[in-house]
Amino acid sequence: MLHFLARRLRYSLLVLWGVVSLVFLLFNALPGDQARLTLGQRSDLSSLANARHELNLDKPILTRYILYMNDLLPVGIHNKDSASAGKYHYIPLFPLTKEKCLALKWPYLGRSYRTKREVNAVLSEALPGTIILALTAMTMATIFGILLGVLAALKKDTWLDTSAIAASVAGISLPSFVAALFIAYIFGYLLHNYTGLDMTGSLWDYDPFTGRHLALRNLILPALSLGIRPLAIITQLTRSALLDVLNQDYIRTAYAKGLSKMKVVFRHALPNALNPVVTTISGWLAELLAGSFFVEYIFGWKGVGRITVDALDKFDFPVVMGSVLLTAFIFIIVNLFTDLVYSWLDPRVKSV
């Protein structure tokens, strides 16, 4: 297991390094003066020169890449007397020179051009909203998807099976942002008097009299919009995998021993049919955590997606770069966890 974990971790670090390098090259090749974006269009030449020096824009691109990697790495060289000394809190490990030391620190993603706040703080405020939304959508999709898949498999070739397949195909074919528009309009506007749900809203509402309060009702519509596609895929996978397992010899043996149908299905057949479902759930969880951009924007849900879309609209490149790197990190962590769970469910994976 340790050898398997070390190999997967090495691959994950290589992927993350590739993503960081690609993001750096793409955003440094974009047209536009980053110093002018930081200070505004009416800034004078001396201020622009100071900003370029502070952002390392006056250095060769290779030097800028090395400095960028040093900011991102959790262990890096910290220059006590440089302008970057206030970038992050650090724990000195051991000195290199009088001015420099090797330090343990949080990755530094820069500052927003628009708000001048650290990108770490901007993303940390938005990330809980995205996590809650993604987990709610994935929980709903997993529970109902597995139940519908089991029902379709047990009622094979009946109208229930046909209806479940047709609904899942429609759900797979419908993009999340299109579903979000229909759901927001129907349940948040047309049926608002019956549902009590709003078209837009975040996890926390602000009332001028009562102040800040939790608004869980705003979670229903965006979670439903995000969960439709994974629900449809989980339904089809569960149905297909369960039908294969139900044809195995040990299932017929269990029936021959006099076990009830519910006990055979849920205790013997379903656990052995969940391997591809677990992989799909983990993959979709990573995608929902990182890819709910337009759904968050449509419903006005405060999360990483909405902040990223706003940053793109205003050319706030540090926030966009930080959100892309956070997205890649989430994908890598979830996929690594999936590999571990899958190897535990099926030990043959360790040899791959």
Which backbone phi and psi does 79 adopt, to 5 degrees? -100, 110
CATH of 119-351, one of 3.40.50.150, 1.10.3720.10, 3.30.1150.10, 3.50.50.60: 1.10.3720.10
Element spanning 198, H or E: none
The pLDDT, as a whole number, for residue 85 is 47
- Are the C-beta atoms of residues 253 and 204 closer than 8 Å to each other? no
Q: Given 3-state DSSP classes, what are the helix, strand and coil percentages for the chain, each rounded to the nearest 5?
A: 70, 10, 20
H-helix or E-strand spanning residue 274 = none
d(CA 43, CA 36): 7
Q: Residues 149-169: what's their mean pLDDT?
A: 84
Averaged pLDDT score across all residues of the chain:
79
Tell me: the pLDDT tens digits for 235-275? 888 888 888 888 877 777 877 877 777 777 777 787 778 77
Domain borders along the chain are: 119-351
State mean pLDDT over 53-70: 77
What does pTM read for this prediction? 0.77
Task: Enter the DSSP assignment of 258.
Answer: T
Query: Is 109 in contact with 325 (CB distance < 8 Å)?
Result: yes
346, 339, 261, 348: which is closest to 9 by C-alpha?
339
What's the Cα-to-Cα distance from 260 to each of 81, 133, 252, 256, rounded to whole Å?
74, 38, 12, 10
Q: What is the rounded radius of gyration, in angstroms, for the C-alpha atoms of the chain?
A: 25
| CA pair distance 90, 103, nearest whole angstrom | 6
Looking at residues 286-301, what average pLDDT do you find?
79
Does residue 29 register a pLDDT over 60?
yes
Most confident of 97-101, 150-154, 257-261: 150-154
Whether residue 347 is predicted with pLDDT greater than 70 in this model: the reply is: no
Ranges 75-84, 165-174, 304-313: which has the least confidence: 75-84
